[in-house]
Amino acid sequence: MSSELRHLAISQQGLNPSLRPGDGLAGTQRAIEHLGYVQIDTLSVVERAHHHVLWSRVPGYAQSHLNALVSAQKIFEYWFHAASYLPMRDYRFALRRMSAIRQGENRCYKTLDSPLMREILARVRAEGPLKARDFERRAASTEKTWGSRPVRQALDTLFMMGKLMICRREGMEKVYDLAERVLPEGLDLRLPSLNEYAAYLFTTTRRAHGVFTWKQLLHLQTGKAMRDAMRAILDAHMSSGEVEEVVLASGLRAYVDVEALDKAPALEPSVKILSPFDNIVIHRERLSGLFGFDYRLESYVAASKRQYGYFCLPILQDDTFVARIDCKAHRAQGRFEVLSLHLEDVAFERERFFAGLGEELRSFASFNGCSEVDDRVVDEVRHRDTGRIG
pLDDT in tens, 183-234: 999 999 999 999 999 999 999 999 999 999 999 999 888 899 999 999 999 9
Q: Residue 319: which of 296, 298, 346, 300 has the closest Cα?
A: 346
| Beta-sheet pairing, 335-343 with 372-374 | parallel
| Beta-sheet pairing, 83-87 with 138-139 | unpaired
In this structure, what are the phi and psi dihedrals at residue 235, rounded to the nearest 5 degrees?
A: -60, -40
Half-sphere exposure of 293 (CA within 13 A, CB side): 28
pTM: 0.94
Task: Give the pLDDT of residue 57.
Answer: 97
Task: Give the pLDDT of residue 17.
Answer: 86
Q: Kindly report, residue by residue over 55-73, the tens digit of the pLDDT.
A: 999 999 999 999 999 999 9
H or E element that contains 340: strand 335-343
Q: Three-class SS of residue 112?
A: coil
DSSP-assigned letter for residue 299: G
Half-sphere exposure of 314 (CA within 13 A, CB side): 28
Are the CB atoms for 194 and 228 separated by under 8 Å?
A: no
Task: Give the pLDDT of residue 385.
Answer: 54
Reply yes or no on whether the pLDDT at 246 is more than 50: yes
What is the dotted CATH code of the domain comprising 3-10+193-263? 1.10.10
Residues of the chain with CATH 1.10.10: 3-10+193-263
Q: Three-class SS of residue 156?
A: helix
28 confidence band (pLDDT: 50, 70, 90):
very high
**Buried-exposed string 151-177: b where 16+ CB fall within 10 A, e elsewhere:** bebbbebbbbbbbbbbbbbeeeebbbb
**Residues contacting residue 168 through CB under 8 Å, at least 6 positions apart:** 67, 70, 71, 129, 175
